[in-house]
Every structure is written in C-alpha cells, then in structure tokens.
C-alpha cells in the first residue's frame, strides 16, 4: 500500500488531488484543521474512487500539533510511511501593504511557509530512511510574478518556490524529488469572489482552470513517470498574460 498526505485536503485543489491520488491507488491521508464535514465529504469521494483513506486533523502552522499528529499516525502504522507529500494548505488575506494588518501578514506566512517547514520536516525523515519520496509544494502564479494586494501571499509562495529548489538539492541523492506547482486562476472557494469575466480576458485559453486539472499534474509528479523531474516549478495558468 502506498500512502500520500495532502494538507488542506478538505476542499478545492486539495480535494481534487486527494481524489486523483485515490484513483491512482494511494491510501490518502486527508489533512484538515476545522471543517470536518468538508473533510468527510472528501473522504467519501476517495472511497468512491476506489481506495480507502483517512482523516488526519492538525494545524500545519503549529509545529507541535503537526508533529504529534503525524508521529501518532506513524506509530499506529509502523510498517507504513508517507511516500507522497502534497503541501497544499494555504490561506489568503488580501490587502494593499500599507493597509495590511500584522495578523493578515503572519496568518498567510505561517500557514503556507511555516506549514511547509512543519509538515515536510516531520515527514521527510522516513522518506530519507526509505530512500524514496515525492514532495509536491503548492505555490502560485502570485509567487512567480507578484500580484497587487497579495504581498503576503506572493512572499509566502515565492519562498516556497525557493525552498523547493533548495530542498531538491539536499535530498536528490536519497531518490526524493521535490517540485512545486504554481496555479493561476483555478475555480475554487478562494477565487469565487473574483471577477471571472474580467480576469479571463487576460488568460490565453479564455477561462479559469479546474481543480481536477491541477490534480492531474500533481498525480504525474507523484508517479514514477516524473522520477527525473526535481527542483522545478510548473505553472498551470492557461497562459496567463503577465
């Protein structure tokens, strides 16, 4: 049995990735922090996809809570290990920088960037011992080109891209690949308040992407077919015009 952990797996892109990995035969650990009802919905969808999964509750921004939850799972499943880690959890708190409150800055940084550190540091140790692993970090086009009103989000996702490159060099010799995905405008709760009609004018394909399209890329990066790809950030934007 192959195991995959998807943080922020209760909805949106995270949910789509959970379902796709279940279709590929993974036992998916669906991380969530508060909305158990949505997480249960994702779990039901993974089971429909053909593979048993389970919920694992912890706040990625809290190192002690993250370590405790993952280590408990590992102790309960001594012969298993998390072969695929998808660092997907993230939040937005948009505002122009002069009006951005410290809470908005720190919330976004702690979830996306500290969350990457907290989860990856805990999971990667057994990957190293097993000499195999796939780490997929959810970045954003915001981290590639910067978007107004998202200094906090752009900073977090830009740092994720840099960390992806650095970590890939640290663990490549252990047969662990580390890559990032940088989505553009994808139809999820996070983009539901945006003016889609206006924004899609700046996208070559003329539409927002679907979460399932991002999930297809994540599943490819998790597979043996992507064994020679590491340290890369792959944008999936529909041809967003910078």
Cβ 142 vs Cβ 153: under 8 Å = yes
Q: In angstroms, rounded to a whole number, what is the distance separating the alpha carbons of residues 171 and 185? A: 31
- By CB atoms closer than 10 A (0-12, 13-18, 19+), residue 146 is middle
Q: Which residues are catalytic?
A: 153
Is residue 154 within 8 A of residue 143, CB to CB? The reply is yes
**CA dist 126 → 100, 122, 201 (Å):** 39, 8, 46
Burial of 149 (0-12, 13-18, 19+ CB in 10 A): middle
């Amino acid at each position: 049995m192959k195991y995959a952990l998807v943080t922020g797996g209760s909805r949106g892109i995270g949910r789509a990735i959970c379902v796709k990995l279940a279709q590929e035969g993974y036992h998916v650990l669906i991380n969530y922090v508060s909305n158990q009802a949505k997480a249960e919905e994702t779990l039901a969808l993974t089971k429909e996809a053909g593979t048993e999964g389970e919920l694992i509750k912890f706040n990625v921004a809290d190192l002690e809570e993250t370590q405790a939850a993952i280590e408990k799972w590992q102790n309960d499943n001594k012969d298993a290990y998390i072969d695929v880690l998808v660092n997907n959890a993230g939040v937005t708190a948009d505002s122009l920088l002069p009006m951005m409150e410290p809470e908005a800055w720190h919330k976004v940084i702690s979830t996306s960037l500290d969350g990457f550190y907290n989860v990856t540091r805990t999971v990667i140790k057994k990957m190293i011992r097993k000499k195999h692993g796939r780490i997929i970090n959810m970045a954003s086009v915001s981290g590639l080109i910067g978007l107004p009103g998202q200094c906090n989000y752009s900073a977090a996702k830009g740092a994720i891209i840099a960390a992806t490159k650095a970590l890939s060099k640290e663990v490549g010799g252990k047969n662990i690949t580390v890559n990032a995905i940088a989505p553009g405008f994808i139809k999820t709760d996070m983009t539901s308040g945006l003016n889609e009609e206006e924004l899609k004018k700046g996208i070559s394909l003329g539409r927002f992407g679907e979460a399932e399209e991002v999930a297809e890329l994540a599943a490819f990066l998790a597979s043996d077919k992507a064994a020679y790809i590491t340290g890369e950030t792959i944008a999936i934007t529909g041809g967003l015009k910078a």
